[in-house]
Amino acid sequence: MLSASPDVMEQKWVKKFRAWFVDYVAGFYGDDEYLNANVKLKEDHTQRTCEEIRYLAKELDLSGNQTRIAEVIALFHDIGRFEQFVRYRTYVDSRSVNHCLLGLEILRQTKVLDGVAYPERQLIEKAVEYHGSRELPKDLDGECLLFSKLIRDADKIDVLYVVTDYYRQYADNPQGFKLEIELPDGPEYSTEVVKELLRGQRIDYSELRTLNDMKLCQLGWVYDVNFTPTLKRIKQRRLLEMLVDFLPKNKDIERVKEKIFEYVDFRISQEKKEHNGNLSHMI
Ligand SMILES: [Fe+2]
């Protein structure tokens, strides 16, 4: 679709990809209200993730070219979600398909990236492929590592926003709720999940039994955040406080809250060192 083969990501390409995305997603809307609500959720998530990644790129002093590549990654990171929902009517990968790999397949089938020079195209494809993995492959380095980390952070900021909004809508009107609730909603939560969070560990999705476990797991995402500006954004928006508000009020949850908040504040207090040290070797 795009004929030139630039060796850098030009702004006009980003514009064309944005238009392509809107057009692609438009094809998924129809008469099914449940499907429309779910497609809209991911379309809006994508647009906001693009904003978050631009914020991170700015905070981390990335170049203009790197910022544009990052935005294209954010634009395409969940491109597999739409096909996933149409085919399986769920966004739960374990019940359907790995949406990152499906996304990669769609990028290739549609040939949307065909005009992009190989190094940039590979950076985009790898970041899309790895954005939902539990761990990044150990052998990633350089810009491939940088962009893979960036999209994981930008995605987390917006998903935390989405889920807090989602829990609020569900609490306000459970019957009228048009989105998918993956786990049973009740007052229960797993004590093992609480223990792991108190030990500073992330929670694996396979351990989740209830909606409260999912909320606890989402609190634990902070342990997997790569860049301090991500934590600053999460803190500034009070996303963790909002999540805690949807959990039972008791000592366990209080302790988890204290641990998580302490961790976030500690990381923010270390920011200067990190900025001068960890990041500089990756760019
Ligand atoms: Fe995703």
pLDDT of residue 3: 42
Q: Both tokens of residue 197?
A: 């969070």
**Cα gap 14→75, rounded to integer Å:** 9
Is 39 found in the same domain as 96? yes
CA–centroid distance, residue 214 to ligand 1 (Å):
16
pLDDT of residue 274: 58
Q: Could you tell me which of 28, 73, 215, 95 has the C-alpha nearest to residue 203?
A: 215
CA–centroid distance, residue 24 to ligand 1 (Å):
17
| 59-63, 86-90, 173-177, 274-278: range with lowest mean pLDDT | 274-278
Task: Give the count of domains, the chain.
Answer: 2
Q: Both tokens of residue 107?
A: 């990028």
The verdict on residue 175 lying in a domain is no
Q: What is the pLDDT of residues 232-264, one digit of tens each?
A: 999 999 999 999 999 999 999 999 999 999 999
Is 137 found in the same domain as 20? yes
Q: Calculate the alpha carbon distances from 124 to 74, 88, 131, 146 in Å.
A: 9, 26, 11, 11
Is 16 found in the same domain as 77? yes
Is 217 found in the same domain as 138? no
The verdict on residue 265 lying in a domain is yes
CA–centroid distance, residue 134 to ligand 1 (Å):
12
Beta-carbon contacts of 258 under 8 Å, excluding residues fewer than 6 positions away, are none
The verdict on residue 48 lying in a domain is yes
CA–centroid distance, residue 155 to ligand 1 (Å):
7
* Range 15-20 contact pairs with CB under 8 angstroms and sequence separation of 24 or more: 17/72, 17/75, 17/76, 17/112, 18/75, 20/112
Amino acid at 200: G
Q: Could you tell me which of 136, 191, 165, 169 has the C-alpha nearest to residue 243?
A: 165
CA–centroid distance, residue 252 to ligand 1 (Å):
30
Is 143 found in the same domain as 18? yes
pLDDT of residue 283: 47
Residue 8 pLDDT grade (very low, low, confident, very high; cuts 50, 70, 90): confident
Q: Please, which residues have CB less than 5 A from ligand 1, an ion?
A: 78, 132
Is 95 found in the same domain as 193? no
Query: Across the chain, what does the average pLDDT equal?
Result: 91
CA–centroid distance, residue 152 to ligand 1 (Å):
9
CA–centroid distance, residue 131 to ligand 1 (Å):
6
Residue 250's domain spans which residues? 188-283
Is 119 found in the same domain as 18? yes
Is 106 found in the same domain as 43? yes
Is 145 found in the same domain as 210? no
Higher pLDDT, 187 or 148: 148
Q: Could you tell me which of 84, 225, 81 has the C-alpha nearest to residue 153?
A: 225
Q: Both tokens of residue 68?
A: 């544009």
| 9-13, 43-47, 123-127: range with lowest mean pLDDT | 9-13
Residue 181 pLDDT grade (very low, low, confident, very high; cuts 50, 70, 90): confident
The verdict on residue 163 lying in a domain is no
Among 95, 123, 151, identify where a domain stops: 151
CA–centroid distance, residue 83 to ligand 1 (Å):
13
**Cα gap 81→73, rounded to integer Å:** 14
Q: Could you please report the per-residue DSSP string of 143-208?
A: HHHHHHHHHHHHHHHHHHHHHHHHHHHHHH-TTT--S---S--SS---HHHHHHHHTT----GGG-
The verdict on residue 146 lying in a domain is yes
* Distance in Å from the first CA to the final CA of the chain: 31
Amino acid at 169: Q
Is 120 found in the same domain as 229? no
**Cα gap 248→235, rounded to integer Å:** 21
CA–centroid distance, residue 124 to ligand 1 (Å):
14
Among 151, 176, 199, identify where a domain stops: 151
pLDDT of residue 273: 62
